[in-house]
Amino acid sequence: MPYLLDHFDAVKELLALHPFGLFTDVDGTISEIAPSPAEARVSPVCRGSLTALAKHLDLVAAVSGRSAAEAREMVGIDEMVYIGNHGYERWVGGNTELIPGVEDYIIGIKAVIDEFNKRISIEGVVIENKGPTASIHYRRCRDHEAALKAIMAAVEELAEDSNLKIGLGKLVVELRPLLGVSKGTAVVSLIEERSLRGAIYLGDDLTDVDVFVSFHREGLPFKGLAVGIVGEETAPQVVREADCTLNGVTDVERFLRQIVAEVIDRPAA
Ligand SMILES: [Mg+2]
């Protein structure tokens, strides 16, 4: 798998395409994974570069499993677009829009979480109800394997009854509506809406692989580069499906600075 910082020429070629968009995941990509989601902070270096890029590129978007409003709060740049809840919602210029049909799942997600809490209690589990999706984090559990097993045993039946699908991430179980929506469909929709000709996507986890795969479909009207952010907890699919890799948030900081250096001298698009 090519190491992106050794192949910056390919990035320069993409940056020459207009309109161009940069998409980045948040946790594990521009923010180090923290013991709990509330403790995570976006790298100030990344924020500085993204602020500059939001002025110079046609589109800069953050794509997160968090709610769109929370991703906006965390990154803190109003000029960006925020795709939240793994693609089920979008924050643009102060307004949050849900994908049609998603509202129907908000009650179901709450019911599953309430029932889950009634059935089991595992020390260290942190549950986030994000409206149309939910995350069950087991990072703080002493025995990760046992915690995952117990969570899955409880959640599998509940999810099926409520038409939810289960996704796995870095020490997290995700519950999402069965609507065929993913970070991949959300990113490609935004690319098509903005008629982008070039795009770069940065992501570190399994839900980002949906974007990587969607960039590799035949006959797309844009050229996309899928960048896997690799570290100790990286799932093999992330490396397998990415076009190239960077090592952790530190490399993302370096990469974004290089893009800033590349585009800052050219006239604003
Ligand atoms: Mg991530």
Domain ranges of the chain: 4-98+181-263, 103-177
**Per-residue pLDDT at 221:** 95
Quote the ligand 1 centre to 247 CA distance (angstroms): 13
Tokens found for residue 118: 């009634």
C-alpha 227/C-alpha 30 separation (Å) is 13
Q: For residue 211, give the amino acid letter.
A: V
- Alpha-carbon distance 245 to 243, whole Å? 7
Ligand 1 centroid distance, CA of 162 (Å): 26
Say what the pLDDT of residue 267 is.
Answer: 60
CATH superfamily of 103-177: Trehalose-6-phosphate phosphatase related protein; domain 2 (3.30.70.1020)
CB hemisphere CA count around 189 (13 angstroms)? 15
Cα 76 to ligand 1 centroid, rounded to whole Å: 17
Tell me the CA–centroid distance for residue 28 and ligand 1, in Å: 5
Span from the CA of 85 to the centroid of ligand 1 (angstroms):
12
Cα(113) to centroid(ligand 1), Å: 22
pLDDT, residue 65, reads: 94
Return the exposure string of 103-115: e unless at least 16 CB atoms fall within 10 Å of the residue's CB, then b.
eebbebbeebbeb
Cα-to-centroid distance, 229 and ligand 1 (Å):
9
Question: Which pLDDT score is estimated for 268?
Answer: 54
In this structure, CATH architecture of domain 4-98+181-263: 3-Layer(aba) Sandwich (3.40)
DSSP helix/strand/coil, 149: helix
* The pLDDT value given to residue 84: 96
- Alpha carbon of 26 to ligand 1 centroid (Å): 6
Residue type, 27: D
For the entire predicted model, the pTM comes to: 0.91
Contacts 24+ apart (CB under 8 A), 71-78: 71/26, 74/26, 74/31, 74/40, 74/41, 74/42, 75/26, 75/30, 75/42, 75/47, 75/50, 76/42, 76/47, 77/47, 77/50, 77/51
Measured in angstroms, how far is the CA atom of residue 265 from the centroid of ligand 1? 31
Instruction: Examine domains 4-98+181-263 and 103-177 and report if their fold is the same.
Output: no
Sequence-separated (6 or more) residues with CB below 8 Å from residue 59: 19, 20, 21, 22, 81, 190, 194, 196
Give the DSSP letter of residue 39.
G
Compute mean pLDDT per 10 residues along the chain, 269 residues long, and list them. Answer: 93 96 98 92 98 97 96 97 96 92 91 94 93 94 97 93 92 93 96 97 97 96 97 94 98 98 76
**Counting runs of H as helices and runs of E as strands, what totals does the chain give?**
9, 12
Question: What's residue 82's pLDDT?
Answer: 98
Tokens 């915690």 appear where?
147
User: Residue type for 141, please?
Assistant: C
Cα–ligand 1 centroid distance for 221 (angstroms): 26
How many angstroms is it from 29 CA to the middle of ligand 1? 6
Residue 1 is predicted with a pLDDT of 80
The pLDDT, as a whole number, for residue 36 is 87
169 CA distance to ligand 1 centroid (A)? Answer: 8
